[in-house]
Amino acid sequence: MKTYLRILSYAKPYGKFVPVYVIYAFLAIVFGLLNFTLLKPLFDVIFEQVDPAGLVQYQEKPEFSFSIGYFTHLFNHSFLEISETYGKMGTLYFVCGIIVLSVFLSNLFTYLSGVVLANVKAVVIKRMRMDIFSQVSTLHIGYFSNERKGDLMSKMTNDVQEVENTIVQSLRVVFREPATIILYFSVLFFMSVKLTLFTILIIPISGAIIGGITRKLKKKAVQSQQSLGRIVNILDETLGGMRVIKAFNAERFMTGKFDKETDYYADVNVSMARKNELASPISQFMGVFVVAGILVYGGSMVLSGESDLSASDFITYIIIFTQVLNPAKEISRAVSSIQRGIASAERIFEVVDTTSQIKSPAVAKPLKSFEKSIVFEHVSFAYQDQKVLTNINFELKAGKTIALVGPSGGGKSTLADLVPRFYDPTEGRILLDGTDIRDFEVHNLRELMGIVTQESILFNDTVFNNIAFGIEDATEEQVIEAAKIANAHNFIIQMEDGYQSSIGERGSKLSGGQRQRISIARAVLKNPPILILDEATSALDSESELLVQEALTKLMDNRTTLVIAHRLSTIQHADEILVIERGEIVQRGTHTELNQIEGLYQKLSSIQSV
């Protein structure tokens, strides 16, 4: 119930929807009920049981009041006038006309209430989608290392869709059908208390049976959505790694993996369908069982004269009671489907409730510029129990360049990721102009930094939008200038639509070198005081590397730069080189100084000079 109410909270403020819906739903129920209560006078006319003497009290037209008594009196007054003026056929036409009008109004208000619920549904789903998307976009980088991307995508798409198809769709059932049952039973009690009490004693039996079924449904629904997440993950890995799959003839392996998961998904859903489909037949059977009981019990009382109900009253009672079965059946069906929606909603709220490990302080210190230095003080970092960096100490002064070199897996990229707070140190602190970077607003901190990653991260958009990414007011001249500095302008203008050319999924229409140069142009355009270059030239051919390195050297002039490089030739002019091995700084100095000392740097330098 808590999860269900939380879903409905996305429809706030309720005042915009609830009053209108309640009015429309109430009127739909009233006119729907009127359709069947009018059957009694219709039967009385047909069976010639109209007693004019009993209608004398209705000869005078009643004074208006908003009450059931007024409308009953008015109907009987009109009924009496029609009966006296036009006879039985006229009365029959009158009753049938009122029934047709009542049916029309009942359906009209049902339609209007459905439109209101459609608006509620649209608001709830939109807000839920935005909530989970906003939350995912603000989570720390480490969260995505521990979660399957396919499962996250499934939560953001399939689970939200399940909530839309089950819970939001069930709002009509949850609010309208109970009100329908209450009003209908009120009429039934008014007609015969004894007979209605008999029916109420039998109905809970079917409710208990259906309740047992729905409890099992939730468990299966969770398994179904988890399996669907794994299916999406396999699809994502297959489509993203198609080159590797084909290169290693692994099509059969991936097909087998996909087949196994889809088999499991099918089995879970068939099991769930068995239980879900069982609720409706049980509800219908129990309903018919109750009706049969009423026919035997009530019919015997009418035939023996023990009941106050006439034959027409009893027939009307049976017809009204059968209409109670339909909303009861809808409720049982909705309760079954809601279990699937609850399971999906809980998976969604797992993400929404996840707390990001990287947060801005409640009261952040102002940060408008960078002037002095970035200092690492006794910084260590571990992924869960795996230590990656140990006691890192160095100072990067403004306008200077520090290069990080060393074997792969030594912790260089992790060290660089600590500066923009993609992660926070597990020990020690990083100071920017003497202040711990955790005391600044995260957004303001990252505004000072331009980053080019080892992997070119591009989006399925135009060249222009990829270079101007995150800069809303970038002009065409600025984008072109940035592209020229990154040695990208020439190949861009040769593309079919120039800067407005689409680069495809993850830049699939470009070569590796072209993708990297667009990434560099993006950093150039941001024009930040601090640069973080993680293997920025690794995907370039020799010619492009030379041109881009020259451009980067100009860009780095008088800027603070932290650069990671495997090719030592690209960082020979760094003010200081830190040699990282197994998470520790094992050597430090300039290119010349380190080459004169026997150690890891000299070894790497000699290997690359061969």
584 or 300, higher pLDDT: 584
233 or 77, higher pLDDT: 233
Give the residue-averaged pLDDT of 244-249: 68
557 or 526, higher pLDDT: 526
Q: What is the pLDDT of residue 219?
A: 64
Q: Which long-range contacts (CB under 8 A, 24 or more apart) does 435-441 make?
A: 435/365, 438/361, 439/361, 439/364, 439/365, 440/360, 440/361, 440/364, 440/365, 440/367, 441/360, 441/361, 441/364, 441/367
CA dist., res. 90 & res. 84, Å (int)? 9
Residue 318 CB contacts under 8 Å (≥ 6 apart), including other chains: 291, 294, 295, 298
Q: Which of 293-297, 307-311, 430-434, 559-563 has the lowest mean pLDDT?
A: 307-311
Give the residue-averaged pLDDT of 559-566: 86
- Tally DSSP H helices, then E strands, for the chain: 22, 10
Residue 47 has pLDDT above 70, yes or no: no
Q: Which of 105-109, 335-339, 386-390 has the lowest mean pLDDT?
A: 335-339
Q: Where are the domains of the chain?
A: 2-352, 373-608
> Is the Cβ–Cβ distance between 267 and 283 less than 8 Å?
no
Highest-pLDDT range among 28-42, 167-181, 213-227? 167-181
23 or 56, higher pLDDT: 23
- Per DSSP, 430 falls in state E
Residue 479 has pLDDT above 80, yes or no: yes
> Is the Cβ–Cβ distance between 273 and 266 less than 8 Å?
no
Residue 365 CB contacts under 8 Å (≥ 6 apart), including other chains: 435, 439, 440
Going by pLDDT thresholds of 50, 70 and 90, the confidence category of residue 329 is low
As a whole-number percent, the residues of the chain with pLDDT over 90 amount to 6
Backbone angles phi, psi at 386, to 5 degrees: -100, 110
| Distance, first Cα to last Cα, the chain | 70
Residue 83 token pair: 């009966």
For residue 242, give the 3-state DSSP assignment.
helix
Q: Which of 37-51, 132-146, 302-316, 476-490 has the lowest mean pLDDT?
A: 37-51
Give the residue-averaged pLDDT of 328-344: 72
Going by pLDDT thresholds of 50, 70 and 90, the confidence category of residue 341 is confident
Fold of 373-608: Rossmann fold (3.40.50)
CA dist., res. 559 & res. 567, Å (int)? 21
pLDDT in tens, 183-218: 777 777 777 777 777 777 655 655 555 555 555 655
Going by pLDDT thresholds of 50, 70 and 90, the confidence category of residue 519 is confident
Give the residue-averaged pLDDT of 443-465: 83
Going by pLDDT thresholds of 50, 70 and 90, the confidence category of residue 157 is confident
Going by pLDDT thresholds of 50, 70 and 90, the confidence category of residue 381 is very high
Q: What is the pLDDT of residue 232?
A: 77
CA dist., res. 18 & res. 417, Å (int)? 49
The CATH number fitting domain 2-352, selected from 3.30.160.100, 3.65.10.10, 3.40.50.300, 1.20.1560.10: 1.20.1560.10
Give the residue-averaged pLDDT of 443-458: 82
Question: How many CB atoms neighbour CB 328 within 10 A?
Answer: 24
The amino acid that residue 216 corresponds to is K
> Is the Cβ–Cβ distance between 92 and 46 less than 8 Å?
yes
Residue 541 token pair: 């051919």
Q: What is the pLDDT of residue 436?
A: 92
Residue 216 token pair: 């099992």
CA dist., res. 574 & res. 404, Å (int)? 10
* pTM score: 0.68
Going by pLDDT thresholds of 50, 70 and 90, the confidence category of residue 393 is very high
Going by pLDDT thresholds of 50, 70 and 90, the confidence category of residue 102 is confident
Q: What is the pLDDT of residue 578?
A: 92
Give the residue-averaged pLDDT of 593-610: 79
